[in-house]
Structure 1
């Protein structure tokens, strides 16, 4: 088995895989599950000997190689790397219209958010009923997992909600024109609907933070906040 891999190895892998069972990362032969195997074999058409990075989504990862013998397999070729602990960051957001919520989840995951929580605010134009919400969250989690693979992340971003905004923003930082600058140490920042936060919601928030002088769409604000927070974080 080779030495401990580096981030250069992670970035240069043929693809990045999130495995369904975290304990599977400890095995010499990695079980990726039927759906992922189909994607690697039939969509990406990986060949024997190609290097693949594999993560459990909980900060651990290692390098593997594709083995095409009697079937398809991934064989571990490096030690397991454990990423340093970090302050988790949650972006909470009112639900934007149409497929803009897909873009919000995809981009905030790529940028480094650890949780995306969708909100029902008092002025939300979009509110999902329970049955639709359950299906949407499953679909959006798939989008977040694909963004993890694309961006070579080793921490899975969870997609949750929708929840009532008043129950989440108490004591949190909310994006609002005229607010304070971000410090980079925020663990939770909430984005309101395009109609803005209600007076009651603003009164409940612990702190107001500004992300610029312009009025942004909900999904743009979520991406801007995530970018600023991850850039400033120390």
Structure 2
């Protein structure tokens, strides 16, 4: 059985035999929800490549200490996948973030596309971004990732174009794309960017702006996927052609 994973702010400088403290909501979840007890083993990670395995040394209502038995520094996975996700309606945004995190996306960028039904403004924008980040954090722990994904603030079309311009490879999912996704060359390292449009589809101006950066409009197949699952399908298809899934 896999050991439970919990997030801590930092593991810098931690060595064998040290004790690491877990506090607040994370400790409450471990002690009150998972009911971890003294002597049980657990994995702690800082979400930035460092993980430790150890036994619970003490517990409190909102605190826990773990004695370090093993320290692992994981290399950042390459190539790194960034998914630009147009804002979907309802809770489909959290679904997209969850599955993209589970499959290994390094960065998720919420995008206010022209035809996005959902709108993030003011307090709603702050709350929605917080939900996406919390979803990514919990999904990363479930997937036992040592590198947690970064969920960026809401991006404009101009910001997305800039991201595409700096990528090693970039694709825009479009049901009328001229090329199949299978025709795209996946680099061994660097950033691979996948753009997922909204329920209403991409506008001609958006496609033109993205293609001007060198991105390629591609189709997944004859089926039209939901915006909340299209990114998962595309990243999986590309990952299957990398050493990460070899």
Fold similarity call, TM over 0.5: yes
Displacement of 1:84 in angstroms is: 5.1
Displacement of 1:100 in angstroms is: 0.9
Q: Which residue of the other structure, out of 200, 203, 208, is the alignment partner of 2:208?
A: 203
**How has the CA–CA distance of structure 1 residues 13 and 215 changed in structure 2, closer, same or farther, with 3 Å as cutoff?**
closer
**How has the CA–CA distance of structure 1 residues 103 and 112 changed in structure 2, closer, same or farther, with 3 Å as cutoff?**
same
Distance 1:16 1:25 in 2: 17
Structure 2 match to 1:109: 101
Q: Is the 8 A contact 1:184 1:231 kept in 2?
A: no
Structure 1 match to 2:135: 143
For 2:118, what is the secondary structure of its paired residue? coil
Superimposed CA distance per residue, residues 127-168 of structure 1 (whole angstroms, 9 cap, x where no aligned partner): 211321111111221111110111101111121232112431
For 1:153, what is the secondary structure of its paired residue? coil
Matched, 1:54 2:44: yes
Q: Which residue of the other structure, out of 227, 232, 237, is the alignment partner of 1:223?
A: 232
For 1:126, what is the secondary structure of its paired residue? coil
Matched, 1:173 2:171: yes
Distance 1:164 1:96 in 2: 15
Q: When the two structures are superposed, what TM-score results if normalisation uses the length of structure 1?
A: 0.86
Q: How does 1:49-88 map to 2 (within 5 A)?
A: 49-68=39-58, 72-83=64-75, 85-88=77-80
Unmatched 5+ stretches in structure 1:
1-11
Distance 1:16 1:32 in 2: 12
Q: How does 1:90-129 map to 2 (within 5 A)?
A: 90-129=82-121
Q: Is the 8 A contact 2:114 2:203 kept in 1?
A: yes
Structure 1 match to 2:21: 31
For 1:14, what is the secondary structure of its paired residue? coil
Unmatched 5+ stretches in structure 2:
none
**How has the CA–CA distance of structure 1 residues 108 and 25 changed in structure 2, closer, same or farther, with 3 Å as cutoff?**
farther
For 2:240, what is the secondary structure of its paired residue? helix
Displacement of 1:69 in angstroms is: 7.2
How many correspondences in the alignment?
223
Distance 2:57 2:226 in 1: 47
Q: Is the 8 A contact 1:95 1:193 kept in 2?
A: yes
Q: When the two structures are superposed, what TM-score results if normalisation uses the length of structure 2?
A: 0.82
Q: Is the 8 A contact 2:11 2:51 kept in 1?
A: no
Q: Which residue of the other structure, out of 177, 185, 196, is the alignment partner of 1:183?
A: 185
